[in-house]
Amino acid sequence: MNTLAAANSMQTDLNFAHTSQSSSATQSRLHLTSRCLSLANAISIAVVVGGGLVLVGWLLDLDLLKSVLPHAVTMKPNTAVGFALLGISLWLQLNEASQSSKADPIRKHASQACAVAAILLGLLVLGEYLFKVDIGIDEILFRETLLATQAPHPGRMAPATALKFVFFGLALLLLNIESRRGYRPSEFLALTGVTISLLAIVGYAYGVQELYATFPYSSVALHTAILFTTFGFGVLLARPDRGLIATITSTHLGGLMARRLLPATLIAPFLIGWLRLKGEHAGLYKTEFGLAMLVTSTIIILTTIAWINARLLNRMDDQRHRVDDQLGISEERLRLAVKGAGIGTWHWDLKTSELVWSDRCIALFGLPARRQPSYEIFLACLHPADHARVDEAVKRALADQSDYNVEYRVVWPDGSEHWIASKGRGYCDADGRPIRMEGIVLDISGQKKADADLLASRRELRLLSANIETLREAERTRIARELHDDLGQQLTSLKLELTTLSAMLPQDNGPPSEKIREMRAMMGSAITSVRRIAADLRPIMLDELGLIPAIEWLSHEFSRRHGVNVALLVDDEELAYNDEAGTALFRMIQEALTNVAKHAKATEVRITINQDEGNCVVIVQDNGIGMPLGAQRKPGCFGLLGMHERVRLLTGALFVDSSPGNGASIKIVLPLRAAQTRMEHT
């Protein structure tokens, strides 16, 4: 029992360690994923608001909202509408999962409609450039304001802008599409759009007009490029658990390094180049000096970044070594504990179908030391009667990721059977697919044998108790009959002789006559005592008249002796009880009444005997003070214990219902077959 308890504790510790490590990594990953989704949601709203502000700028003729910088390129009204469509489409996809399942199709179709509208807008503009036609979509909004600029096609967006609407619209439509190899077309489209937008931003920062002005009067506005770049990152962040972003949000070292290096690699080169160019334009240095400073600054920054990350990796590596050392010590302690307890361990990799058993585990199954195990071999070792049950327990543990706890028999090659207790747990990947199972095994044959011996011993003790009770009841019957038939008759004869002697003496004989009368009274009292003792040992009417009359006599005598009103209700007087059942019921009712007299302080007792669904039901209920908690298990109280044993021998049940101040009720339930048919003990 101690070994099995140690095995339970060990398996619990192993499961807790696995669960704690997995839970910590999962919580960290979920936190990063949640932050990415929140950022993507904010980006979708910002894009919609940005497009809306530009439309307000056109409506109120505010240059600050239309072009951001004075005399810079303006964002066209249809471009602002396109941004609103893209932002709404992304927002709907991000918030689709948080709504009810009934609303999901509506949101999905609305998101797709907005994405398709953005794509059509871009394709129509590209068609205008390609075929050199004007289909009139450029001046649908704010026509008079646009024509007042007297520029050719004043409301037409740049070709690069139209192309990015096509790219980002397709990215939204393909957001959940992934190839078998893990490639995501939405990421390629989004990254292409971001790259084109970054070129325009760099062109503005470095004064390279060719990067944002494709045709005369058709340039990409600065805030258009910024919104496209921001929106592209929002598309990438919309699915943080897949593709490129999954690498960045990973809890592994690669994800950590990516999160630390990416901001510096994106910002540092851009900022250094911009500062170098501005210094050269200000005449602070010549081109050669500026290039030298650019290279030097880049080397210093990259070296610093490398040094900082190297130090971080060294610190983490030191922590890992310390953890590995502690883990090694713990594993050695666990190995010694497992070996000392005789526990076998096993690991099942479902991806490769590889089943690894420890040497002890192989020995417990009676297999050769170098035998390579498998799940099929494991099932073949089981007792045929346990095969289906164990297989079902394994499948359930894998499906539910629950504990695997089962006891079964294994059959060794020599034909001997051994009991095994196996405990384990199934584990699944992030998608819920079973990936592995781990556990321990322990030989419990000794425990099973001890349990069987204990059960057999209890059975023998019950048979012995039943035999002793039978012998005692027979001895009571014999003594009661001898008292009634032998001693009672002799005392009756003596009383008659005294009566005859009294009649032979003169009536006024004085003291002799008085003495004879006293002797006759004493003889009558002795006869009454003998009859009472004989009835207490074994009522003659129980054997001659049956159970019900005997209980009626017992109720009357109890009421007379103790002053307690006893009500007897019998609904099955026609039932013929066998000797064993009749004696047992009489003794149990007698014991219940004795308890009432000793402890209950009751004024009324109700005895009910009836039949219910094939059972004989006897209820003894009083209105006394009840039994305190724990009284039924109090040491030295053998009355209820004896009643339980009598009922158990007759395959019945006994129920006690009592609480302080509410009286007590004892319910005896016996199957009619046990009450009507004599049971034989061997």
Q: Is residue 7 a part of any domain in this protein?
A: no
Do 397 and 434 form a contact (C-beta atoms < 8 A)?
A: no
226 and 309, same domain (yes or no): no
501 and 521, same domain (yes or no): yes
Question: What is the spatial distance between Cα 322 and Cα 329, in angstroms, rounded to a whole number?
Answer: 11
Residue 261: half-sphere exposure toward Cβ, Cα within 13 Å:
16
Q: Is residue 8 a part of any domain in this protein?
A: no
Model pLDDT, residue 120: 94
Predicted confidence (pLDDT) at residue 164 exceeds the cutoff of 80 = yes
Q: Is residue 16 a part of any domain in this protein?
A: no
Q: Is residue 17 a part of any domain in this protein?
A: no
- Select the highest-mean-pLDDT range: 100-109, 214-223, 310-319, 593-602: 593-602
Residue 328: half-sphere exposure toward Cβ, Cα within 13 Å:
6
Predicted confidence (pLDDT) at residue 97 exceeds the cutoff of 70 = no
Structure tokens given for 23: 């839970």
Model pLDDT, residue 43: 94
Model pLDDT, residue 113: 94
Structure tokens given for 657: 């219902």
Predicted confidence (pLDDT) at residue 217 exceeds the cutoff of 50 = no
Strands (E), 350-416: 354-357, 403-411
Q: Give the pLDDT band of residue 166 (cuts 50, 70, 90).
A: very high
CATH number at residue 577: 3.30.565.10
Among the listed ranges 109-118, 293-302, 327-336, 649-658, which one has the minimum average pLDDT value?
327-336
Q: pLDDT tens, 224-258?
A: 999 999 999 999 998 888 888 888 887 777 777 77
Query: Of 470, 671, 653, which is closest to residue 579 (Cα–Cα)?
Result: 470
What is the overall mean pLDDT for the chain?
Answer: 80
Predicted confidence (pLDDT) at residue 72 exceeds the cutoff of 90 = no
Pairing of β 604-612 and β 565-570? parallel
Do 517 and 502 form a contact (C-beta atoms < 8 A)?
A: yes
Among the listed ranges 274-288, 393-407, 535-549, which one has the minimum average pLDDT value?
535-549
Q: Give the pLDDT band of residue 537 (cuts 50, 70, 90).
A: low
272 and 205, same domain (yes or no): no
Question: What is the spatial distance between Cα 344 and Cα 328, in angstroms, rounded to a whole number?
Answer: 19
Return the ∠ at Cα 450 (arms to 444 and 451), rounded to 5°: 90
Domain end call among 416, 443, 470: 443
Question: What is the spatial distance between Cα 281 and Cα 284, in angstroms, rounded to a whole number?
Answer: 8
28 and 97, same domain (yes or no): yes
Question: What is the spatial distance between Cα 227 and Cα 221, in angstroms, rounded to a whole number?
Answer: 10
Question: What is the spatial distance between Cα 196 and Cα 160, in angstroms, rounded to a whole number?
Answer: 8
Question: What is the spatial distance between Cα 102 and Cα 49, in angstroms, rounded to a whole number?
Answer: 28
Q: Is residue 10 a part of any domain in this protein?
A: no
- Residues paired with residue 390 on neighbouring β-strands, in sequence order: none
Model pLDDT, residue 268: 81
H helix or E strand, kind and range, residue 83? helix 77-95
- Amino acid identity, position 548: I
H helix or E strand, kind and range, residue 44? helix 2-60
574 and 526, same domain (yes or no): no
Domain end call among 501, 521, 538: 538
Average pLDDT over residues 25-47: 84
Question: What is the spatial distance between Cα 370 and Cα 362, in angstroms, rounded to a whole number?
Answer: 9
Q: Is residue 399 a part of any domain in this protein?
A: yes
User: What's this model's pTM, rounded to 2 decimal places?
Assistant: 0.53
Question: What is the spatial distance between Cα 239 and Cα 237, in angstroms, rounded to a whole number?
Answer: 5
667 and 592, same domain (yes or no): yes
Q: Is residue 425 a part of any domain in this protein?
A: yes
Among the listed ranges 73-87, 386-400, 521-535, which one has the minimum average pLDDT value?
521-535
Question: What is the spatial distance between Cα 395 and Cα 406, in angstroms, rounded to a whole number?
Answer: 12
Domain end call among 421, 443, 465: 443
Model pLDDT, residue 52: 93
508 and 615, same domain (yes or no): no
Structure tokens given for 441: 């095994």
Model pLDDT, residue 682: 34
505 and 550, same domain (yes or no): no
Question: What is the spatial distance between Cα 610 and Cα 573, in angstroms, rounded to a whole number?
Answer: 9
Strands (E), 208-304: 213-215, 218-219
Instruction: Report which of residues 7 and 583 the model is more confident about.
Output: 583
Q: Give the pLDDT band of residue 86 (cuts 50, 70, 90).
A: very high
Among the listed ranges 174-178, 269-273, 310-314, 465-469, which one has the minimum average pLDDT value?
465-469
Query: Of 17, 14, 99, 88, which is closest to residue 51 (Cα–Cα)?
Result: 88
Polymer length in residues for the chain: 682
- Residues paired with residue 657 on neighbouring β-strands, in sequence order: 665
Number of domains the chain contains: 5
Instruction: Report which of residues 475 and 670 the model is more confident about.
Output: 670
Say what percent of the chain tops pLDDT 70: 81
H helix or E strand, kind and range, residue 243? helix 243-248
Q: How much helix, strand and coil, in percent to the nearest 5, is found in the chain?
A: 65, 10, 25
Q: pLDDT tens, 463-481?
A: 776 667 666 666 766 676 6
97 and 195, same domain (yes or no): yes
Predicted confidence (pLDDT) at residue 192 exceeds the cutoff of 60 = yes
Do 491 and 499 form a contact (C-beta atoms < 8 A)?
A: no
Q: Which residues, 6+ apart, have CB-to-CB distance to 514 below 8 Å?
A: none
Dmax of the chain from CA atoms?
168
Predicted confidence (pLDDT) at residue 176 exceeds the cutoff of 60 = yes
595 and 670, same domain (yes or no): yes
Q: Is residue 556 a part of any domain in this protein?
A: yes
For residue 313, what are the domain limits? 255-329
> Tokens 């396109």 appear where?
82
Model pLDDT, residue 239: 87
Query: Of 384, 355, 396, 389, which is closest to residue 372 (Cα–Cα)?
Result: 355
Instruction: Report which of residues 348 and 631 the model is more confident about.
Output: 348
159 and 61, same domain (yes or no): yes
CA 541 to chain centre: 62
Q: Give the pLDDT band of residue 344 (cuts 50, 70, 90).
A: confident
Instruction: Report which of residues 370 and 124 the model is more confident about.
Output: 124
Average pLDDT over residues 322-344: 77
Predicted confidence (pLDDT) at residue 494 exceeds the cutoff of 90 = no
Average pLDDT over residues 473-493: 67
501 and 424, same domain (yes or no): no
CATH number at residue 349: 3.30.450.20
Q: Give the pLDDT band of residue 508 (cuts 50, 70, 90).
A: low
